[in-house]
Every structure is written in C-alpha cells, then in structure tokens.
Amino acid sequence: MMHRRSTNLGFATAGLLMFGLLGWLVSLVPVDDGAREWTESLNPGGWMAWTFPTALFFWVIAALLLAFTWLAIRFPETPRRGVLGIWTTRGDRLFISLLGSAFINLAWLGLGGAPAWGGLLASLIYAAAVFRWV
C-alpha cells in the first residue's frame, strides 16, 4: 500500500512540474501590442529558433511518456494481438502512432503544404485506429 502511495505521489509531483513547465513556456511567448505572438522565437537571437509550437510538441511527447509510464505501473496489461498480427502493448501502440503520425505530417506538408491542421487531424484519426485495432 505504501509503495502505491509513494508512486502516485511521485507521478503527481512530476505532473505538477510538467504543468509548471508549460506555464513557463507560455510566459516566454513574446507579446506585441497586448497579443501573444505564438509563432515568434522564444529566444530571440539564440542559436536555435525555438517557437511555442515546437516546444509544445516536445512537451506533449514528454507528457505522453509520463502518462503511459504511470498507466503501465498502475494498470499493467498483457500484450494483445491486433490486425498486424504482432503482439503490442500500450507503449508499442503509442510508438507506432507517433512514428506513423510523423510520416503522415511529412506527407501532408510535402504534398499539400500549409496549413498543417489537416495532417494533424489525419494523425489523430490514425492514432485512434492504431489504439483500437493494432
């Protein structure tokens, strides 16, 4: 019982740190005439043009890894066999979803160009299908 409580406390602390990090990232977004410039550099003059959408992408990946780690500890699962004929767990399906989504978004940008909302929507549908049937 004590092990579960300390594990949940650790993940709750990590979750609070993640939300604190998200708040910090939002605070770094430049403001021009009272409006946030979401696609401007978070570090003007820096060696890499980090924008909020780029930082948010990596934040979401870290949050997913944290959430899936907590799920694996709290609710262990046995692998299941899906339409691909391979045994997968939640983590495997997350990896397949992320990898496929990267290719979907690259294809969307290469064939259709901006805006990338269509690629994001296609990726979400693909991820839902992977988690349901793979």
The secondary structure of residue 32, as a DSSP letter, is E
**Residue bearing tokens 């299908």:** 129
Gap between the Cα atoms of 103 and 41, Å rounded: 26
The mean pLDDT of 24-30, rounded to a whole number, is 94
What confidence tens digit (pLDDT) does each residue in 53-94 have? 889 999 999 999 999 999 998 888 889 999 989 999 999 999
The mean pLDDT of 25-35, rounded to a whole number, is 92
Whether the CB-CB separation of 100 and 126 falls below 8 Å is answered with yes
The CA–CA distances, whole Å, from 40 to 51, 57, 79 equal: 6, 15, 43
Q: How confident is the model at residue 43 (pLDDT cuts 50, 70, 90)?
A: confident
Cis before residue 115, ω within 30 degrees of 0?
Answer: yes
**Is the confidence at residue 126, as pLDDT, over 70?**
yes
Gap between the Cα atoms of 2 and 112, Å rounded: 53
Q: Which range has the worst mean pLDDT, 2-6, 62-66, 98-102, 122-126? A: 2-6
Gap between the Cα atoms of 63 and 17, Å rounded: 10
The secondary structure of residue 86, as a DSSP letter, is S
